[in-house]
Amino acid sequence: MIKQIKDNIWKINNDSNIYVVKDDKVVVIDAGDMQYREQVKKDVSEVVDPKEVDVVIFTHLHYDHIGNYNLFPNAKFYASEESIEDLKRNREGTILNMLMASMFKAKLNPVSSLSIDKFKIINTPGHTKGSICLLYGDVLFSGDTIFDNAWGRDDLPTSVPEKMQESVDKLKGFKYEILAPGHDY
């Protein structure tokens, strides 16, 4: 399902949410679950040619957020430094899916090296040690840190449960009109 949430932002939902932001660059936030690949490919193509995507930013590296990364052949991929380190240390524990762990070949760049001024990167450890949220104008892309009425799980191999409340409280300090979570829970 495709929903335009702002003039230049689309949400694509197939279990997890994928966001396409068309600005100076075409940015995709999260890439969804590989299980829904054909539908994701169709939906993304209705919004943008996948070859025109410049940047893919992962809020974290679970399988349901990275699964269709290779639909974007010309994109540069970004994740937090902590997520990249977790991936190096424990692929399966970071991705949470053996098949996806063996297939995921994206060259990840640290999100701190991303040079798109309109995105504010917010470190939000809890769901994973390397979880990030992104503030773009009045839209908060929250990954699996917060949803409409809850926050994300913090009982997974790379979770940091003792940091979740601090991250949620940190997000309360940002002004946003639209919450764009990783799932519609």
164-174 mean pLDDT: 96
Cα 78 to its chain centre, rounded Å, is: 9
| 3 state DSSP class of 154 | coil
181: pLDDT strictly greater than 90 = yes
- The pLDDT confidence band at residue 185, using thresholds 50, 70 and 90, is confident
17: pLDDT strictly greater than 90 = yes
Statement: the pTM of the whole predicted model exceeds 0.85: yes
- Kind and range of the H or E run holding 166: helix 161-172
Rg (CA), the chain: 15
Whole-number Å distance between alpha carbons of 29 and 27: 7
- Beta pairing, strands 55-57 & 76-79: parallel
Task: Tally helices (H) and strands (E) across the chain.
Answer: 6, 11
53-61 mean pLDDT: 98
4: pLDDT strictly greater than 90 = yes
> Which tens digits make up the pLDDT trace of 116-143?
989 999 999 999 999 999 999 999 999 9
90-108 mean pLDDT: 97
Domains in the chain with CATH codes? 2-181 (3.60.15.10)
Which percentage of the chain shows pLDDT scores above 70?
100
